Amino acid sequence: MTTVIEAGRGTTAPGTTQPDRRPARRGGWAGLVFAAPYTVLLLAFGVFPTAYAVYLAFTNDQGQFTGVGQFAKVMGDYRFGPAFLNIAVYLVMWLVSIVVLTVVVAVVLRSRMRPGLSAIFRFLYYIPGALAGVASVLVWLFMLDPNVSPAAGLLRALGFDNFGKVLDPANLPVIFVIIAFWTGAGGWIVVMYGALNNIPDEVMEAARMDGAGPWRAAWFIQIPMISKWIVYMAILAFAAGTQLFVEPQLLQTASLGRVSPTWSPNQLAYVFAFQNGDFNGAAAISLFLLVIGLILAAVLVTRSGLFKAEEGE
């Protein structure tokens, strides 16, 4: 009876240990400390600028509320439609290439190569991603000029005997996809390879025992099991693609005006803001891009169950 009473008063009963809550509290504070710098940067360079852009998009330069007036104004600009059409064509090509090719390459590296050779290829694929965006564009300016390119023979065989033909407007989406893929695919190949590594070996061994070949196992087992990672990649790749600016801007400068200075919506927003002094119109264009990105992300997240916990978690 005494033991029971003492246990009720807070004394640990025989054969049991009282849980220590202090490490959990310390862990909670540690998490807050680690998250605080990111939260500050997110607010300073993400949330507050977005809120300010929303304010600008619904007001004029005197701060008066204009409703959707700014959106109607930029949509009525003759450059708005072509810029968004250009980026739409680019995004379709970019998303198909980044999703399909990175997953295929990751599957090949994981299932069809020895670990040592696979590591070498992953490193080589990742190297271009270490270059800054401007540097990568300059590299491709050199590669695409038939007068100096080491691939000049191939360019001329394809009918591109001068730099002007290479920069024909019909070729620009392909050029920008090549540049973006060259710089961005290596990092995503590494991510997809890591996702494939999380698939238990027992699952793949069972597939082999059931007679599934490498490609059948990839299609029916590996790809479905990393589908959430693929959706995550598609969302971020789409968001990055809508922000296309450096590549067309540098090509426009290097080609002495052969490329339109408003080829992409980001370039058009830049012209509105820094050439026309119309920051309200530029903010409206940026919100168009934000809404498009949020809609696609919402569709992919809800359809894929990206944030839905797996059974047993």
The ranges assigned to domains in the chain are 88-264
138-157 average pLDDT score: 87
Confidence of residue 3 (pLDDT cuts 50, 70, 90): very low
pLDDT at 15 over 70: no
Distance (Å) of CA 282 to CA 72, 187, 285:
12, 31, 5
C-alpha of 248 from chain center: 18
Confidence at residue 8, expressed as pLDDT on a 0 to 100 scale:
43
**Phi, psi for 65 (deg, rounded to 5):** -65, 130
pLDDT at 26 over 70: no
Query: What pLDDT, in 10s, does the model give residues 183-198?
Result: 889 999 999 999 999 9
Confidence at residue 6, expressed as pLDDT on a 0 to 100 scale:
43
Contact 304/231 with Cβ under 8 angstroms? yes
Confidence at residue 57, expressed as pLDDT on a 0 to 100 scale:
96
Query: What pLDDT, in 10s, does the model give residues 246-279?
Result: 889 988 888 878 889 999 999 999 999 999 999 9
Prediction pTM value: 0.84
Domain 88-264: CATH class, spelled out: mainly alpha
pLDDT at 39 over 50: yes
pLDDT at 13 over 50: no
Query: What pLDDT, in 10s, does the model give residues 68-89?
Result: 999 999 999 999 999 999 999 9
Report the percent of the chain where pLDDT is more than 90.
Answer: 49
Max avg pLDDT among 163-177, 243-257, 260-274, 290-304: 260-274
Q: How many CA atoms lie within 13 A of 197 on its CB side?
A: 9
pLDDT at 29 over 50: yes
Query: What pLDDT, in 10s, does the model give residues 209-222?
Result: 888 888 888 888 99
Contact 128/211 with Cβ under 8 angstroms? no
Confidence at residue 145, expressed as pLDDT on a 0 to 100 scale:
86
**Helix (H, G, I), strand (E, B), or coil: what is residue 232?**
helix
Q: What's the CA gap between 256 and 260, in Å, rounded?
A: 10
Question: b/e string for 286-298 if b means 16 or more Cβ within 10 A?
Answer: bbbbbebbeebbe
